[in-house]
Structure 1
Amino acid sequence: MRITILSENYTPFNLTLRGEHGFSALIEKDDMQLLYDTGRFGICVDNARTLGRDLTRTKKILLSHGHIDHTGGLEKALVAIGHPVDIVGHPRIFEKKHITGQQYVDGFGRKDVFIGIPFERQYLEKMHKARFDLRDGFYEVADRVWLTGEIPITNDVEKIPASLLVEVNDLFVPDDFADDNSLLLDTDKGLVVVFGCAHRGIVNILTYVKKMFNKNIRAIIGGTHLHDTTRGQLEYVKGYLKELIKEDGVELFAPAHCTGIHTIMALSEEFKDITKPAFCGTVFEF
C-alpha cells in the first residue's frame, strides 16, 4: 500500500513541485486507487503529473470535510480523472462554512469569509457526472480502507476554534464539524490513520478508531489543526500521543498542513524517533 502526498502547505527543496494551503493524498493498493481530498487549487493534479501518478486510475474521491482547502480542487481533479467517479463524504459537507475574524474584514465591513465547497453539488453531477455517496457512519469505502464518519467527542480539552462557523437559516452558528472524516488503512501490521484536518481533535479521533477496530495504530499522517492551539491543549495531545506510541508501537508520525510549522517542529522534537515530514511529493509505503 502506498500513500503519496499530492498537496500540502510545504514542498521539499524541489522546484518541480508546488505547495498550497491545502491537503490531498493519493492512496494506491494493488489495482485500487483513491484520492483523499483535492487541496485548494487543484495543485494535486499538477504534482501527480510531475510525480508520474496516473489519476485516470482513480476509482473514488474521498472528502475529509467541506472546507475549500480540501475541496477546491474537485473540478480540476474530476477533469484529470476523466471518467465518472464516486465522491464519498458526510451528508453535511455542503453546508455553508465560514471563518470570521478581524483579519477578514472587507471593504463592506464584513468580518467573515466563505470557506466551504466552492461548487454546487448539482453542477458537479451535471458537468462532470460526479456520483455523491454521502454517509454519516463508519464506512468501508474499499477493501481494508475506511472512513470514520462522525467522530464522538470524548474529552473537553480539544476545542474547535470559535472563528469557524456554519450558516444555518441565515444565521452564523459554531461549526461542530460533524462532517470531519478521517481515513483508515487496515494493514497487516496495524492501522494507518490519515487526517484531513482533524477538526474534532486527534485524541477524539484516535480514541474512536481504537474503539472501533481494537487494533494497534501503526502510523499517523496528515493535518491535526494544532496551528492555533493553546499550550494546555498541545500538552494534552502530546501526553496522549506519548502513551499511544508506547502502547501501540507507533512507527510513523507525519504531521502536516494545518498542524502549522511551529507545532510540527515542537512535535518533531518530542517524537523525533518516529516523526517524518509529509511535504508535497512524500511517499509512504506500508
Structure 2
Amino acid sequence: MTVVETLDIMLPHYGDTGLLQAAVRSVLDQTDKDWRLTVVDDGREEGVPEWFVSLGDSRVRYLRNEQNLGITKNFRKCVGLVESTHFTMLGSDDLLLPEYVATIRAAVAAVPDAAIYQPGVQVIDENGTPSVTLADQVKKRLYSPRATERRVLSGEPLAANLLGGNWLYFPSICWRADLVKEIDFREDLSVIQDLALIIEIVRRGEKLVVEPATVFQYRRHSASLSSGEAVSGARFGEAVRFFNETGAMLDRHGWPKAARAARRHLSMRLHALTLVPGALLQRRTATVRKLLGYVLTSSP
C-alpha cells in the first residue's frame, strides 16, 4: 500500500477575519490529523497574528506578508512553501468537512500516479447555508462527470470538457506538488489562473481523479474577487485572451477537439449572458455592452 505523506494545506488569506478563523477551525476539526496548515496573510487586520499564537498547535504556521502581494503572487508564494508531495490551496472563506483529509489521502493512496484530485463539493452562501446557484447547476448538469464511485480522467477528452465548462472547484482540489512547482500560476492572470494550470497539467498527459464523497464546502458570495470582476465584466477580457491563446496552443499540440472547445468558450459566454439582467437593473450601460460583446464574440 502506498504511504501518503502529510497533506500540506496552504491558505492564502486576504479579507474577512471571521471567515478565516472558520476555515482554520475546519482544518483543526479533521478526523485524520496528518496535515500541516500554512497561512500566508496578505492583509493587515488587527489581532490575527495573536489569534494564531493562541491556537498553540505546532501543525499551524502563520506568516504575514510585509507588503501586499495580490492574489496570484500570494498563490505563488504558497506553492513555494509546500513541503509535502501533495497539497490543497484552501480558500480563506471556504470550509473543509471533517473527512476531507482522510478522503484525499485515501484517493492519493488508491491512485498515486494522478496529479489532481477533485472531491465532492457542497456550495454554501455567505451565511454557511447550502445554496443552489445557476452556475453550479450548469456545472453539475452539463459538464461534470456523473460519478458514484472514484473515476480517473485524462487526455484530450478531459481538456475539451474543462474548456467547454470548468466544473472543478479550485480551493477543494488536492495537487501533486512537484508539477505545480514546475508550472506554477501565471502572473498575467488573476481569475482564471487555476484553469490555465489545470489545462497545462492535462496537456502533459497527467491524470485527474474524481472522488464523489462530499467533503468540502465552497462559499459563493458577492464579496469574492471573481464575483466582483464578473459583475463588472472585467474577468471576461482575461478569459477571452486565455481561451484564444489556449486554442492556438492545443492546435499545435495536436488536440483539435480541445482547441475548438477553447475558442468557443461556450460556458463563459453563457455566464456573461446571465449577468446582463443584473447590469441592466443597476443601469450599468457600459457593462451591459461589454458583457454582450463577450456573448456575441465570433469563434473561429
**Normalization by structure 2: what TM-score?**
0.30
Bigger share in strand: 1
**Normalization by structure 1: what TM-score?**
0.31
Bigger share in helix: 2
Instruction: Work out which structure has the larger RCO, using CA pairs closer than 8 Å and 6 or more positions apart in sequence.
Output: 2
